[in-house]
């Protein structure tokens, strides 16, 4: 192997091979080259040379195996994480981060890739896959059976990853890989908190249990970002510290290119997400500035809501101002559309108050809204109790959506109760809550067994017209209601003329039914 002279030049057998011909002038390396050589010699001798690679590999390999401890700690970490997310408790979530053992197989992927040990790579991938699936399954089951399924701030914060999250994972993985190589395992605690592998998995379980694709996909992207970034950073650190691979030079080059490509593939969507967040943050500032500039200096914004997902962007605001301005809404809307380069729909409410009483008026309005919120909550709880009572189910089985003002409950079978009875119960509650959409889902019961008709005298010279009687109209109303509540086909059975008329009446109401001719009275039956 070539040796080096004291000045850093290469020699071979005591003869400077830099001499192209005998008697050539001996060249000396530049100062920059000597510095690079000194740094390289320091790195190889004083840094890489002090690392016990066999011991590091043995320890990392052992911690990647599937064991009772690994499975138990993963399950406990997942359970704690999802409870912390549902309760929106950062302290509980941090506790789950500290327990999670997922960092070990992810680091194992990186080290195995660096030394070309594909048996170890498969072992780490199997451990990681089993831990991931178990965590998602457990957290989704806990959320599914939990009475709390609200998207808390802790959950929402893990549904929109961006480029900064990739850099957090990168720097944390650098620290973690260094600690593992240099034997500083205590640093891993901080790395586990920084990368936060388990909370995103718990949010994935939450999205799966609530069938919320936005939450599911956003949290999954964050988890995959952390996973891949940590594994590839561990690979790079292991290669930097001289962990040898059995791959050829060409295979190593292809491996390096693939790693670079993965980083780029992750960075592009995350950079786009970061751009969206930056746009929304800047847009909130612009909206607030434009609204304030349109009113006197002593005017205040009482409420401001912006829906970026709407098209056009929906902005609603309430102003406390000593002077009402009729053209303010149109002017602000035009200004916002120009500055944001996006169509904007503004809903502006103005409250005229005296100059010295703006703050007091704002406090009064805030207190009034708080009282209204409490009253609305009490009314919602009362609605849930009444629906539970008529449906014969516990109050927890009543689904209340306060945002959309929708209430739904699946009723138990009540002795002697027909579909018409369930419909009447729903109508009675709906009459007391005209702003709510009430749905009482009945059990599968018999449809009206008789739909009566009567003849109505026509004009002079015309034959009587066959129409549903009052009882027949009521029966058709029940059939229409049942079709909307129970997803089972309906068949009208009876004389041809009556079934055709009833079928037409229901079709006008958006109910499609089949017909079957029969000699008995017209009736309705559930189809197959």
Question: pLDDT at position 387, please?
Answer: 86
Angle at 468 between CA 461 and CA 413, to 5 degrees: 175
Give me the residues paired with residue 306 across strands. Answer: 315
Q: How many residues make up the chain in this entry? A: 528
Question: Are the beta carbons of 353 and 378 closer than 8 angstroms?
Answer: no
- Beta carbons within 10 angstroms of residue 283's beta carbon: 19
Residue 410 CA, chain-centre distance (Å), reads 28
Phi/psi at 450 (5° precision): -150, 125
CATH number of the domain located at residue range(s) 53-246 in this protein? 1.20.1080
Question: pLDDT at position 257, please?
Answer: 67
Q: Where are the domains of the chain?
A: 3-45, 53-246, 278-364, 365-441, 453-526
Report the run of H or E that residue 4 belongs to, with start and end: strand 3-4
CA dist., res. 262 & res. 229, Å (int): 9
Question: pLDDT at position 411, please?
Answer: 87
Question: pLDDT at position 366, please?
Answer: 62
Question: pLDDT at position 15, please?
Answer: 45
Tokens of 88: 């929106």
CA dist., res. 452 & res. 454, Å (int): 7
Nearest to 452 by CA among 373, 523, 389, 402: 523
Tokens of 116: 């070309």
Q: Write out the CATH class of domain 365-441.
A: alpha beta
Nearest to 286 by CA among 351, 343, 328, 337: 337
Question: pLDDT at position 133, please?
Answer: 93
Q: Write out the CATH class of domain 278-364.
A: alpha beta
Question: pLDDT at position 486, please?
Answer: 87
Q: Each residue's pLDDT tens digit in the chain (528 positions)?
A: 444 454 444 444 444 444 444 444 456 677 777 677 777 776 666 666 667 777 878 888 887 888 888 899 889 989 998 888 888 888 888 878 877 788 888 888 888 888 878 888 888 889 989 999 999 999 999 998 888 788 887 888 888 777 777 788 888 888 878 887 876 655 555 555 555 688 889 999 999 998 888 889 888 888 888 888 888 888 888 888 877 665 555 555 665 666 666 667 666 666 676 677 677 778 888 888 888 888 887 777 877 888 876 778 888 888 888 788 888 888 888 888 888 888 888 888 887 776 555 555 555 566 566 666 777 778 888 888 888 888 888 888 888 887 778 888 888 887 778 888 888 888 888 888 888 888 888 888 888 888 888 888 767 667 778 888 888 888 899 889 888 888 888 899 888 888 888 889 899 988 888 888 888 888 888 876
Give the pairing of strands 10-12 and 3-4: antiparallel
Question: pLDDT at position 360, please?
Answer: 54
Give the count of alpha carbons within 13 A of 483, CB side only. Answer: 22
* Tokens 């327990």 found at: 99
Question: Are the beta carbons of 315 and 347 closer than 8 angstroms?
Answer: yes
Task: Name the strands in the sheet holding 490-494, side by side, starting at the edge strand that comes first in the sequence.
Answer: 514-517, 490-494, 523-526
**Alpha-carbon torsion angle 119, 124, 130, 134, nearest 10:** 170
Question: pLDDT at position 65, please?
Answer: 82
Question: Are the beta carbons of 208 and 149 closer than 8 angstroms?
Answer: no
* Tokens 């993985």 found at: 173
CA dist., res. 243 & res. 234, Å (int): 11
User: Which conformational region is residue 29 in: left (phi greater than 0), alpha (psi within -120 to 50 degrees), or beta?
Assistant: beta
Question: pLDDT at position 140, please?
Answer: 93
CA dist 235 → 55, 66, 113, 175, 478 (Å): 17, 21, 6, 13, 68
Nearest to 407 by CA among 419, 398, 416: 398
Question: Residue 312, preceding bond cis, omega within 30 degrees?
Answer: yes
Question: Are the beta carbons of 391 and 440 closer than 8 angstroms?
Answer: yes
Report the run of H or E that residue 408 belongs to, with start and end: strand 406-410
**Alpha-carbon torsion angle 51, 53, 59, 63, nearest 10:** 110
Q: 3-class DSSP state for residue 111?
A: helix
CA dist., res. 287 & res. 124, Å (int): 50
């Amino acid at each position: 192997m070539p040796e080096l002279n004291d000045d850093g030049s290469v020699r071979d057998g005591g003869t400077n091979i830099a001499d192209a011909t005998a008697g050539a002038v001996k060249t000396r390396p530049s100062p920059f080259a000597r510095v690079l050589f000194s740094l390289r010699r320091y790195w190889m001798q004083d840094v890489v040379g002090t690392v016990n690679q066999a011991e590091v590999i043995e320890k990392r390999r052992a911690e990647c195996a599937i064991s009772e401890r690994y499975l138990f700690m993963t399950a406990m970490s997942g359970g704690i994480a999802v409870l912390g997310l549902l309760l929106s408790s950062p302290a509980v979530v941090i506790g789950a981060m500290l327990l999670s053992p997922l960092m070990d197989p992810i680091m194992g992927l990186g080290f195995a890739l660096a030394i070309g040990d594909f048996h170890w790579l498969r072992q780490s991938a199997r451990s990681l896959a089993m831990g991931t699936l178990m965590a998602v399954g457990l957290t989704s089951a806990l959320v599914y059976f939990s009475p709390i399924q609200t998207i808390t701030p802790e959950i929402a914060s893990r549904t929109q990853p961006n480029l900064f999250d990739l850099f957090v994972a990168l720097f944390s993985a650098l620290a973690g890989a260094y600690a593992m190589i240099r034997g500083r395992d205590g640093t891993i605690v901080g790395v586990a908190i920084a990368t936060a592998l388990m909370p995103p998995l718990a949010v994935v379980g939450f999205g799966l249990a609530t069938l919320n694709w936005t939450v599911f996909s956003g949290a999954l992207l964050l988890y995959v970002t952390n996973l891949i970034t940590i594994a590839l950073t561990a690979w790079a650190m292991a290669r930097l510290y001289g962990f040898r691979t059995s791959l050829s030079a060409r295979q190593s080059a292809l491996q390096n290119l693939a790693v670079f490509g993965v980083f780029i593939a992750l960075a592009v969507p995350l950079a786009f997400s970061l751009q969206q967040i930056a746009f929304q943050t800047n847009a909130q500032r612009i909206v607030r500035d434009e609204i304030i500039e349109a009113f006197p200096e002593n005017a205040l914004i009482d409420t401001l809501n912006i829906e970026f997902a709407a098209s056009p962007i929906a902005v609603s605001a309430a102003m406390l101002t000593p002077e009402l301005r009729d053209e303010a809404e149109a002017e602000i809307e035009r200004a916002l559309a120009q500055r944001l380069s996006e169509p904007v729909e503004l809903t502006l409410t103005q409250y005229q108050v005296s100059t010295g009483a703006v703050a007091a008026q704002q406090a009064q309005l805030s207190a009034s809204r708080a009282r209204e919120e409490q009253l609305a909550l009490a009314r919602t709880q009362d609605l849930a109790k009444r629906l539970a009572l008529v449906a014969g189910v516990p109050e927890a089985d009543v689904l209340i959506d306060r945002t959309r003002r929708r209430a739904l409950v699946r009723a138990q079978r009540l002795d002697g109760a027909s579909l018409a009875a369930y419909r009447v119960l729903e109508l009675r509650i709906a009459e007391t809550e005209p702003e709510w959409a009430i749905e009482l889902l009945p059990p599968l019961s018999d449809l009206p067994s008789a739909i009566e008709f009567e003849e109505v005298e026509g004009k002079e010279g015309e034959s009587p017209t066959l129409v549903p009687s009052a009882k027949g109209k009521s029966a058709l109303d029940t059939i229409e209601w049942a079709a909307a509540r129970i997803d089972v086909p309906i068949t009208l059975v009876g004389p041809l003329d009556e079934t055709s008329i009833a079928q037409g009446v229901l079709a006008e109401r958006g109910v499609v039914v089949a017909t079957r001719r029969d000699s008995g009275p017209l009736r309705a039956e559930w189809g197959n």
